[in-house]
Structure 1
Amino acid sequence: MKTDPDQIISITTGTIIRVLIVIGAVALAYFLRDLILVLLASVVIASAAEPFTRSLMRWRVPRLLAVVLIYVVAIFGISAFLYFFIPPLFIELSNLANTLPGSFDSFNLFDPNLDPLSAITGGLVSSISLKEIITEIQRAIVSESGGLFTATGTLFGGAASFILIIVLSFYLSVQEDGVGDFLRLVTPVNQEKYVAGLWARSREKIGQWMKGQLLLGLIIGILVYLGLSLLKVKYALLLAILAAIFELIPYFGPVISAVPAVLLGFSDSLVLGLLVLGFYIVVQQFENHLIYPLVVRKIVGIPPILVIIVLFVGARLAGILGMLLAVPLATIVMELASDYQKKKHIFRETNNG
């Protein structure tokens, strides 16, 4: 069989139009990314609130009143946490930046002959002393403290987006099927039925995920409070609340919440700092190998590697908010992938038959 050396590649007008439409859609999405993020956050929050709304409605609480109660409790809890936790944390970080080297001096660890790094490595890394590491930590704390205050200003600069998210999610929650109605509004007629079914399944999983995360946060919060109280770490209750809240971010949340507790421990003494660090490592292992698989992974069914990937992507695109939205959005992607696999299976069976 001979092949024609002069192959002709035909590009129709319809193909060009479709390519231009895709490029235009991507460009439009880029310019409207902030608005899209607001819409996604509103949809996820409304979906997460749905199971709690239904639970209250079973007690004959009107839907509007149930949604109002849920939002009031959530906003009050977050506001109280920020009010009571952030100011003392700033104070302790500032004190820590000044006292951390002194705390290690009291253990005579800056004696070159007693540097534990040299002892552990047999002098292989003698050029890197513990004193240098502590000095770098001190500089980082001072730098990050200033960054936190800058971030606070940025937060207020984004207050309009925050208010818009609350208003939109509240509106979608009050409606019986607010998100479904919204999706049907923006979906082509021939895809309405599929999108409605996809959303119903995704909403159920997102709601179950939120309930699982809250249960996980409660368990971890109690464990952290008991452990830090036994170790006599300052602000044990607030640190436990911080640990519970950051459980909303899988894998990385517990690490982030451990940082202030470990730093506060080191500001008191080296021994306490190491004990707190060891305690958080034990809690993290307990969570990863027992609690998380039982409480969350079975509900959502997302592979751990995919969770890590979407968390990195979410953090890159939208920071902390992106990390919070990553798993719920990945749930929808998993449902789409599952539907695609089913269609492929049906197509193969049809052709083989």
Structure 2
Amino acid sequence: MVMGMHKVKTIARRSFLVGMLLGALFFFWLIRKILLLFLGGWLLAYLLGPLVARMESRGLSRLQALLVLYAIMTGLVLAVAFFLLPVFLRELSQVGEVLPGIWLRWEGFWQNWLARLDGAGLPAQVQKVLSERLGQAREGVEGWLAQGAAGILALAGQIGTILLLPILAFYFLLDWQRLHQGWELLLPGSARLHALALLDELDQIMKKFIRGHLLICLLVGALTGIGMTLLGVPYALFLGVVAGILDLIPFFGPILGGIPAVVLALQISWSKALAAAVVILVIQQVEAHLLSPKILGDALNLHPLTVIFALLAGGEVAGLWGLLLAVPLTAIGKAILRYVFLLLVE
């Protein structure tokens, strides 16, 4: 009888815990947008953490360091808003106006090429397939442009929410040590050493990849914009921003980021397009052989084939976001699986 009551209590306790867990998951799903907002604030705090620590090492208190850092950030944001943002929006609008003409010109070139191949005896079925692929490519480009425009509008509509990120980051940074110690206390004592070791490795991955990669993208974007300005290619600021953003995608990003510059330069002359291609190639070589080894090193310890597979799988599953997050998530997953394996074999 006693054993039966104990079993009933155990089942009831487990059922209660499962119910609480499901309820918590449902609640978190309902407030997922708020959780993403706090996650964004934490990520911003994580990126700014080293700057705050460096200021503290020079004798400032944490609050003083934060106030100085936020004053500098506010000045930079205002400078960008007043000097660069109007130029970027104007160039973005102009690119949107000339893009259809560029596409029609390339489509005409492609159709002429197909006609020549047809005259040379190209099978009708092959020409049909090529024409269909051209139509699909055009629809894809138009879809990407529509998604990009919708994304910009959605981002503009969320400007009030975005302004909350630095406020949240401020409080995260102000109590960073206390929050870190609180997370440590939540870990069970038996697994605390393993969990802290894993968190330390994940921290190294995040530091090297996210902070380092963002810095590299900023440098690549700046170099691209300066290079196109010196060449006299129009929309240099827009091209620099595009190159910097696409550089977030490993392997394929630098190539994709250089294509718009070459295409727009080609509207001027073949020689200008060749010069733009050379500048893009030089920037890519500087990134591959100077910036990445110096800033990133072998941060992720992933084989190139693993990186390519992760990119293809991420793009297939989640599109652009999959491409952006595939590599760091793969590195994080590898670290977690390795620690789980080590715990199982102990």
What is the TM-score normalised by the length of structure 2? 0.68
Q: Which residue does the alignment assign to 2:4?
A: none
Q: How many residues align?
A: 331
Larger deviation: 226-235 or 138-147?
Answer: 138-147
Q: Which residue does the alignment assign to 1:68?
A: 70
Q: What's the CA shift for 1:88?
A: 0.8
Q: What's the CA shift for 1:333?
A: 4.2
Q: What's the CA shift for 1:267?
A: 3.8
Answering whether residue 88 of structure 2 is matched by residue 89 of structure 1, we say no
Kept in 2, the 8 Å contact 1:97–1:138? The answer is no
Kept in 1, the 8 Å contact 2:205–2:331? The answer is yes
Q: Which residue does the alignment assign to 1:6?
A: none
Q: What's the CA shift for 1:168?
A: 1.5
Kept in 2, the 8 Å contact 1:213–1:248? The answer is yes
Kept in 2, the 8 Å contact 1:221–1:244? The answer is yes
Kept in 2, the 8 Å contact 1:42–1:166? The answer is yes
CA separation in 2, counterparts of 1:179 and 1:122?
72
CA separation in 1, counterparts of 2:330 and 2:258?
26
Residue type at the aligned position of 1:52: L
CA separation in 1, counterparts of 2:284 and 2:118?
29
Structure 2: runs of 5+ lacking an equivalent: 1-6
| Aligned-CA RMSD value | 4.8
Q: What's the CA shift for 1:160?
A: 4.3
CA separation in 2, counterparts of 1:48 and 1:268?
41
Q: What's the CA shift for 1:97?
A: 0.9
Q: Which residue does the alignment assign to 1:7?
A: none
Larger deviation: 201-210 or 136-145?
Answer: 136-145
Q: Deviations over 1:257-286 (max 9, x none)?
A: 335324423444567557756865775577
Give the direction of change, closer, same or farther, for the CA distance of 1:296–1:92 in structure 2 (3 Å limit). Answer: same
CA separation in 1, counterparts of 2:55 and 2:267?
45
Task: Report matched runs for 1:1-353 at 5 Å.
Answer: 13=11, 20=19, 23-61=22-60, 62-69=64-71, 71-72=73-74, 75-76=77-78, 79=81, 81-102=84-105, 110-111=111-112, 115=116, 123=122, 125-127=126-128, 133=134, 145-177=145-177, 179-181=179-181, 183-184=183-184, 198-221=198-221, 223-225=223-225, 228-229=228-229, 231-251=231-251, 253-254=253-254, 257-269=257-269, 276=276, 280=280, 287=287, 292=292, 295-296=295-296, 298-302=298-302, 305=306, 309=310, 320=321, 332-345=332-345, 347=346
Give the direction of change, closer, same or farther, for the CA distance of 1:307–1:48 in structure 2 (3 Å limit). Answer: farther
Give the direction of change, closer, same or farther, for the CA distance of 1:72–1:212 in structure 2 (3 Å limit). Answer: same
CA separation in 2, counterparts of 1:311 and 1:43?
29
CA separation in 2, counterparts of 1:94 and 1:118?
33
CA separation in 2, counterparts of 1:335 and 1:74?
37
Give the direction of change, closer, same or farther, for the CA distance of 1:213–1:159 in structure 2 (3 Å limit). Answer: same
Residue type at the aligned position of 1:84: V
CA separation in 2, counterparts of 1:69 and 1:144?
37
Residue type at the aligned position of 1:88: E
CA separation in 1, counterparts of 2:217 and 2:35?
28
CA separation in 1, counterparts of 2:93 and 2:329?
33
Tell which has more relative contact order, 1 or 2 (C-alpha 8 A, sep 6+). Answer: 1
CA separation in 2, counterparts of 1:318 and 1:38?
22
Residue type at the aligned position of 2:301: G
Q: What's the CA shift for 1:167?
A: 1.9
Q: Deviations over 1:86-128 (max 9, x none)?
A: 33122122123135434776xx77546874x669x97354336
Kept in 1, the 8 Å contact 2:28–2:35? The answer is yes
Q: What's the CA shift for 1:85?
A: 1.6
CA separation in 1, counterparts of 2:133 and 2:329?
43
CA separation in 1, counterparts of 2:298 and 2:97?
42
Equivalent pairs: percent with the same residue?
Answer: 22
SS for the counterpart of 1:299 is coil
Residue type at the aligned position of 1:36: L
CA separation in 1, counterparts of 2:25 and 2:275?
50
